[in-house]
A and B are shown apart, each in its own frame.
Chain A
Amino acid sequence: MDYPLSKHVEYMEYALKLARHALDHGETPVACIFVDKKTGGIVSYGMNDTNNSLAGTSHAEFVAIDRIKNQFSSTFDKFEDIIVYVTVEPCIMCASALKQLGILNIVFGCGNERFGGNGTVLSINNDTCTKLPANTVNSDSNRQDLILPGILRKEAIMLLRFFYVRENTTAPKPRTKTERKLDRDTFPDIEWSKYIDEITFNKVFGKDNSGFYKDQKDIFGESINWEIIENGQDHIIDYMNSQCIEFHQPHYSESIGIGNHKKIKLTP
């Protein structure tokens, strides 16, 4: 996967906007987009939907997978070409699903401390019991290609913090808001070696940045793109839908005059 860092950031920004949208609609702010690495087109997108669907399995990745099958293309099978951009490391269940589909590249923002399946708790991407499809290029090694953490990590963490300081009215004893302070300044270190080896790290981020690997520091320094995570993202869904239609049904989108993303203006 030879995308420059700026491209990873660009795609992750869409995922973050979707996560913000999820937050504004009563869901855990985790979201993802599926990108076709050959064309750069957006194949699908998903936001966490567990509260609405009443299913503990409706994580963003599953919503994106189901969307491909149900909404855009029931025969789609080119999962090998997909890069998944997800704001939070996939949980074990989702990491397993992505691997069984044959998806080889996963980029995420922050680690998933409780359930992470791509390095934090287990490393499904390198295990033997979760099988890649028999016909993929990697089926002999049974390993996925690239797990890339730390892309807009602070933004992903902040969205989760926004979620946890909100009052949970269903809890037996809701804590008052004054008890919970939103920490906007401090972030835990990132243990890069759990997810990625140093050689790959240098290849993606440049050798000049290898110090970040050893020091377990965030690659983007202190900067946080507050614009994306603090503002409502009402237009992101329409934009994503038009992008997906353009990918799956280019002729259709041309004929009705939607889908060309240059024509659609996104308000921040």
Chain B
Amino acid sequence: MVKIKSNPLKIDFVKCIIEDKLLQLKSKVSEDTPDLLKVWTIDIDPRESKYVIELIRNKLQPDDPISFLHIKRIKKLKDKKLLTVILCSEELYENVEDIEALLEMYKDKFSYDNLQCEVSVPRNPPPTREIMLSWSELYWPLNWNGNPNDQILNDYKIDMEMITKMLNIISKKSNELDSGNDRLPIVTAFVNPTNPEDYILSIDERDSTGNILDHSIMSGIQKIAKSERSNRLKNMTQESDELTYLCLNFDVYTTHEPCSMCSMALVHSRIKRCIFINQMNKTGCLKLHSGDSYCMQDNKLLNSKYEVFQWLGDDYKIPKIDDRICC
């Protein structure tokens, strides 16, 4: 992990743009309703707090699936001279008996009151300081450790030379198709990380095959599967680590923002990253303000994720197409 200060890439952490060209696209973190999580709390005498901290540090936090880095453990109770302390998440212990048994081991060190699992806290760190303050007010006092997305931006592996090379290839091909005038100028390139020189280029085939579903991404996925099938037939002794599994960890470069079918096909294919050039206002499914705002790459309801960037600026001129077309 590169420290944020020493990253050679220029990153705009506010606008989420890398090298002035790559705009990071993600679904919106809901500012009104964070994903909430129930936690176990007890009330204690402040003088005994160090023993409670000891319990948390030794017996609870190491196994807790939730990191409490963004949450203050201790809150002062108004009026009374007591503290309310978060012990652990409901995901660590479901039953009150288990918690009581644990507290029993510390009964010589501190006494407690009001053991309950009623307090709700935000599961994930707040994205901005303002949201942190508002959530602290609404739910439970939080810490501000900076925007969690800063680290994500900083950790992306970006090879600008490779990216510009691939975008150059697909935009050139797209313009070639457009001048022929009988085909949709939608082009995609698939790059296998284990063999980046051997990229696979695919174009929209719907007008030549008569199948409206032959979008460039679908054609490319089938092309890759077909070549893998013939490789396996040819070379039966191939080591298992040389086999390609679907499009696992592939980088995908495409001229137009993919539709619901293609953006989901990329989820099924386990790609790592998709970079596109032109937004599709009405039919696109990656950009927050495209179509129905699906953000298929990190829709909370789907378990798979891939990185998405849009190339900014006009380095690559791509033919415009009817905004009703699904790409």
Contacts and interface: CB of A to CB of B under 8 A. Distances in A.
Interface string A128-152: 1111011000000000000000000
Contact of A129 (B228, B232, B291): B291
Interface stretch (B68-76, B113-121, B160-168, B277-285): B277-285
B286 to A, nearest CB: 11
A69 B246 CA distance: 24
B268 A96 contact: no
Contact of B221 (A55, A96, A97, A129): A55
Interface string A78-112: 00000000000001110111001100000000000
A57 B283 contact: no
B151 interface: no
Nearest to B293: A129
Interface stretch (A8-16, A38-46, A119-127): A119-127
A127 B303 CA distance: 21
A92 B259 contact: no
B213 A100 contact: yes
B211 interface: yes
B229 interface: yes
Interface stretch (B53-61, B86-94, B99-107, B294-302): B294-302
Contact of B261 (A55, A74, A96, A114): A96
Contacts of B326: 96, 100, 129-131
B49 interface: no
A75 interface: yes
Contact of A92 (B210, B244, B247, B260): B260
Interface in B205-242: 209-213, 218, 221-222, 224-225, 228-229, 232
B269 A57 contact: yes
Given A57-B269, A91-B264, A129 B294 contact: yes
Interface in B308-327: 324-326
Interface residues of A, number: 32
Contacts of B296: 92
7 contacts: A57-B221, A91-B268, A92-B261, A117-B260, A128-B291, A129-B294, A131-B283
B260 A74 contact: no
Given A53-B229, A56-B269, A93 B261 contact: yes
In this complex, the interface size class of chain B, counting residues with CB under 8 Å from chain A, is 35 or more
A100 B325 CA distance: 10
A129 B265 contact: no
Interface of A: 53-58, 62, 65, 69, 74-75, 91-93, 95-97, 100-101, 114-115, 117, 121-122, 124, 127-131, 133-134
Nearest to A133: B212
Contacts of B232: 54
A127 B232 CA distance: 40
- Chain B interface main SS type: loop
A101 B213 contact: yes
B267 to A, nearest CB: 8
Nearest to A123: B292
Contacts of A129: 259-260, 282-285, 290-292, 294, 326
Contact of B302 (A69, A115, A128): A115
B218 A57 contact: yes
Given A92-B296, A100-B261, 19 more contacts: A54-B229, A55-B225, A56-B269, A56-B270, A57-B221, A57-B222, A58-B225, A69-B209, A69-B210, A69-B211, A74-B210, A75-B210, A95-B260, A114-B303, A122-B301, A124-B260, A129-B282, A129-B290, A129-B326
A61 to B, nearest CB: 10
A95 B269 CA distance: 17
Contact of A96 (B210, B264, B269, B282): B264
A53 B232 CA distance: 12
Contacts of B229: 53-54
Nearest to A53: B225
A122 B268 CA distance: 16
Contacts of A131: 283, 324-326
